[in-house]
Amino acid sequence: MATQTENLKVVHFEHKELLVRVDFFKSELDIFEKMLEEVCIDNNLTDIRIAIEHFQNQFLLHRHRLMNIKHDVNKSESAIARKLMDNMSVVNKVEIVKSEGDLRSAINTFDYLFTELKREFKLFLKKVYLTKQ
């Protein structure tokens, strides 16, 4: 049981790490949304308004995805806690490893897509601020 408990502690640590990453991404989204608000206040050109709406939608979708990832991590964490509290002699390690692989994959996919969105948003900001000059 000690080895299984140690494995669960490693998974618990990975959950904490994933939640820190989720919080970091949320903070970045907060910053980008504030920047987008400033662009919105300063501009009323149609093509810029269309791009603003695009980024608002993307930020909303990314925030929703982060909420789903956080929910999945918390759900997995609760399942681990239940297993430890029930003092089960056999912990379904395969189930936990699969779940952790899915969570890691979800956050890595999110990271990739979010990096692309940030690149696109920064290009948009350059365009907006170069146009103003």
* Six token digits for residue 40: 């919105």
pTM metric for this prediction = 0.82
Cα separation, 127 vs 110, whole angstroms: 25
What pLDDT, in 10s, does the model give residues 84-97? 777 654 455 555 55
pLDDT in tens, 9-38: 788 888 999 999 999 999 999 999 999 999
R_g over Cα of the chain? 20
**Separation CA 33–CA 110 (nearest Å):** 18
For 61-112, how does the pLDDT look when each residue is reduced to its tens digit (9 = 90+)?
999 999 999 999 998 888 877 777 776 544 555 555 557 788 899 999 999 9
Domain parsing of the chain, residue ranges? 2-132
Amino acid (one-letter) located at 100: E
